[in-house]
């Protein structure tokens, strides 16, 4: 796998052992993700949700172990600790926007002493989320612009849908929010530029606008 192949609107991330560990995955979280569609680093979306619902959630424990072992390699690396880039805690207009637009579902700083906690059965935690830790900001930008559909996960678990914010936020505001989220909850400080947001916004087929 070379990683970052585009699967529809969302990009398939790097699944090499190094790429997975860098985004916070280890064997246990991968196994949980394949079995249930949810794990600390991510909730399955899009094409991966179909894979989990139709296939991996139906595997038995031994097969799940085998896939998780295959993906993480013979000498698995521990999930990389989350870096805390300088300036990650600096207040910014993006922080206010996060509180106004996102925190109602994804959790607000300090509510129970943890950053970015999700609300169970409503939305996943963003602290340490794989999309925020990915060097490629594609999926984070797409989630902010388009939102994400409602999910029925294996068993009785489900996640509500996430609204898109493409109409409320301009390219610079989306980039600023992505930068703040990546620094604060994803340990990344390479800047996301407004041009990148613009390119993804322009690539949205009309049919995807809601
Ligand atoms: C109405 C509730 C709601 C609001 C408001 C909301 N989200 Fe979400 N968000 C969700 C849900 C539910 C999911 C999981 C759904 C999915 O993965 O399809 C999600 C998923 C995500 C993901 C992907 C997580 C993953 O594991 O793949 C990101 C990134 C994200 N939201 C960022 C944001 C940002 C940034 C904002 C504010 C601009 C925001 N969300 C506002 C409900 C919400």
pLDDT at 138 > cutoff 70: yes
Q: How confident is the model at residue 43 (pLDDT cuts 50, 70, 90)?
A: confident
Could you tell me the residue ranges of all domains in the chain?
5-208
Q: Domain 5-208 adopts which CATH fold?
A: Cytochrome Bc1 Complex; Chain D, domain 2 (1.10.760)
DSSP string, 108-146: -TTSSS-TTPPBTTTB---TT-HHHH-S--HHHHHHHHH
Region 104-117: mean pLDDT is 54
Q: Please report the pLDDT score of residue 112 as a whole number.
A: 34
Q: Is the pTM of this model over 0.75?
A: yes
CA–CA dist 210, 206 (Å, integer): 9
Atom of ligand 1 nearest to the CA of 181: 35
Q: With H, G, I as helix, E, B as strand and everything else as coil, classify residue 95.
A: helix
For range 13-25, the mean pLDDT:
87
Q: Which of 81-90, 131-140, 147-156 has the lowest mean pLDDT?
A: 81-90
pLDDT above 90 coverage of the chain, percent: 24
Residue 113 has pLDDT above 60, yes or no: no
Helix, coil or strand: residue 190:
coil
Range 59-69 average pLDDT:
91
The answer to whether the Cα torsion of 191, 10, 13, 43 is positive or negative is positive
Q: Which residues line ligand 1 (CB under 6 A)?
A: 42-43, 45, 101-102, 104-106, 123-124, 129, 131, 140, 143-144, 148-149, 151, 159-160, 162-163, 165, 177, 181
């Amino acid at each position: 796998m070379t990683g970052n192949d585009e699967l529809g609107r969302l990009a398939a991330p790097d699944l090499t052992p190094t790429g997975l560990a860098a985004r916070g995955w280890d064997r246990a979280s991968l196994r949980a993700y394949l079995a249930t569609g949810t794990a600390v680093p991510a909730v399955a979306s899009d094409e991966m949700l179909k894979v989990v619902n139709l296939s991996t959630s139906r595997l038995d424990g031994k097969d799940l172990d085998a896939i998780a072992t295959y993906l993480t390699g013979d000498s698995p690396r521990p999930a990389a600790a989350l870096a805390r880039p300088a300036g990650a805690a600096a207040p910014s207009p993006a922080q206010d926007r996060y509180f106004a637009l996102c925190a109602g579902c994804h959790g607000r700083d300090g509510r129970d002493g943890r950053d970015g906690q999700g609300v169970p059965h409503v939305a996943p935690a963003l602290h340490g989320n794989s999309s925020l830790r990915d060097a490629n900001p594609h999926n984070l930008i797409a989630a902010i612009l388009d939102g994400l559909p409602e999910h029925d996960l294996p068993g009785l678990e489900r996640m509500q849908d996430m609204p898109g914010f493409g109409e409320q936020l301009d390219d610079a505001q989306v980039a600023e929010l992505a930068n703040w989220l990546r620094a604060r909850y994803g340990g990344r400080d390479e800047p996301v530029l407004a041009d990148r947001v613009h390119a993804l916004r322009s690539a949205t087929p009309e049919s995807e606008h809601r």
